[in-house]
Amino acid sequence: MKQSVSVEIAGQTLSIRSDEGPEYVQELADYVDAHLRELSGGRRTYSVQRMALLVAMQIADELFREKDLRARYRARVEARLESLERVLDEHETQLSTLEG
């Protein structure tokens, strides 16, 4: 069930409706707010809108890098599984010839 959670990002209070708990929504808001603060370096030289777009690009970059890392890891795991399956098949074949 969706519930409304109030969070503050870049000094602006937002009401977020989410199926997730308030702690999770607050954690997301803190993450975005930390990115904004880090990017701005405490200066108010850029508009919040511009900063939000830059933060969105940073977070998208993180997401894409994690997806790529996961895909490469998954490919390594699949290759190892295929290798193990081949070895097991060979072993079963050898066992059946010894029994036969």
Domain of 94, in residue numbers: 3-99
3 Ramachandran zone, left/alpha/beta (phi>0; psi -120 to 50): beta
> Residue 44's pLDDT is what?
64
pLDDT of residue 98: 86
- Rg of the chain on CA atoms, in Å: 25
pLDDT tens, 76-89?
A: 999 999 999 999 99
35, 52 Cβ separation under 8 angstroms: no
Domains in the chain: how many in total?
1
Q: What is the pLDDT of residues 33-71, one digit of tens each?
A: 999 888 887 666 678 888 889 999 999 999 999 999 999
Q: pTM score, two decimals? A: 0.71
Q: Determine the average pLDDT of the residues in 22-27.
A: 95
